[in-house]
Amino acid sequence: MEDFRPKAITRSLVEKQDIIIGMERYQLTKIRNKFKDLKEILKGKLYTLKEFNGAEKKDFNIPDPYKTGKKRYFEILEIVEKQAELLVQKVKNINQIK
């Protein structure tokens, strides 16, 4: 993870990807607003991590732990790790169907 660098979301990236996953709904709204002309392409591509994994609508967001303290950071990390495991399993299952 030391070498990880976030990338700006570009038109090309949006067009190429099958799914785009964010942690919070507002992130997806920002993408929709930035690429209003790609509304049709974005349908069925944008999910929060928890939404993609089948969480209930009221529980779609994973809050940003920035500046919340070490304890909260590790609570959020645990949520992200669990959701990432579910995501990997879901993608594996999808690939087995293909």
Structural domain includes residue 5: no
Write out 58-82 in H/E/C secondary structure: HHCCCCCCCCCCHHHHHHHHHHHHH
Q: Is residue 3 part of a domain?
A: no
End-to-end CA distance of the chain: 31
Q: Number of folded domains in the chain?
A: 1
CATH number at residue 18: 3.40.50.2300
**Per-residue pLDDT tens digits for 10-28:** 999 999 999 999 999 999 9
- Answer yes or no: is 48 within a domain: yes
Residue 80 resides in a domain: yes
pLDDT in tens, 20-72: 999 999 999 999 999 999 999 999 999 999 999 999 888 899 999 888 999 99
pTM of the model: 0.82
**What pLDDT does residue 30 have?**
96
Residue-number span of the structural domain to which 21 is assigned? 11-97
